[in-house]
Amino acid sequence: MDEVAAAIADPVRREILEALREGALPARRIAERFPISRPAVSRHLRVLRECGLVHDTLVGRERMYRLDTAPLTEVGDWIARFAPAAGFWNQRLDALETEVHRTRRDRRARRAEQLDARRAEQVDARRADEGRGEGDGVRRAGRGRGVEEADVRRGRDDLQDTRLEDTA
């Protein structure tokens, strides 16, 4: 098991194993996938072959490598002993995810209620302003209070009267 664990500790070897999952490959095809030299890839293949993770056969002038997953079962069984601890954390993380989704949903609902309440207040304020208005003039916007056009005209007339008195 130690040889297998040491072999899969290297990222290049893990990539070789992943490539061989698709099926048997010649050494040159495996070497093409890496930016390292072909002799370096051959050394990685030798380590994998010595621990039993890959088997090679000579086909013509090429060596074909294929994956053998049997040695990984011992490592997998050893790792599985720690799975209950992983299950504990998975359960906790699932609960956290559920709580996050619930909080987001509640926050959205609260925001929607607040928005609806604000809109209702605005509608009520408009209706109250319309009920207090004088005449049927056109409303002008102004800091939450409506100003009747007739009131504006009256103010202009008063201002003109004052100017006339000052000149006389």
Range of the domain at 99: 82-131
Residue at 158 is within a domain: no
Q: What is the DSSP letter of 99?
A: H
Do the beta carbons of residue 148 and residue 132 sit within 8 Å?
Answer: no
Enter the tokens of residue 54. Answer: 């890959």
Q: Helices (H) and strands (E) in the chain — how many of each? A: 7, 5
> Hey, how many other C-beta atoms are within 10 angstroms of the C-beta on 139?
14
Residue at 34 is within a domain: yes
Tell whether 113 and 56 lie within a shared domain. no
First-to-final CA distance of the chain: 114
Inform me whether the pLDDT recorded for 119 exceeds 90.
Answer: yes
Please tell me the predicted confidence (pLDDT) of residue 144. Answer: 47
Q: What is the CATH number of the domain that holds 36?
A: 1.10.10.10
Please tell me the predicted confidence (pLDDT) of residue 1. Answer: 81
Q: What is the pLDDT of residues 43-102, one digit of tens each?
A: 999 999 999 999 999 888 989 999 998 998 988 888 888 777 667 778 888 999 999 999
Tell whether 31 and 91 lie within a shared domain. no
Q: What is the pLDDT of residues 139-167, one digit of tens each?
A: 555 444 455 555 555 555 555 555 555 55
Please tell me the predicted confidence (pLDDT) of residue 47. Answer: 94
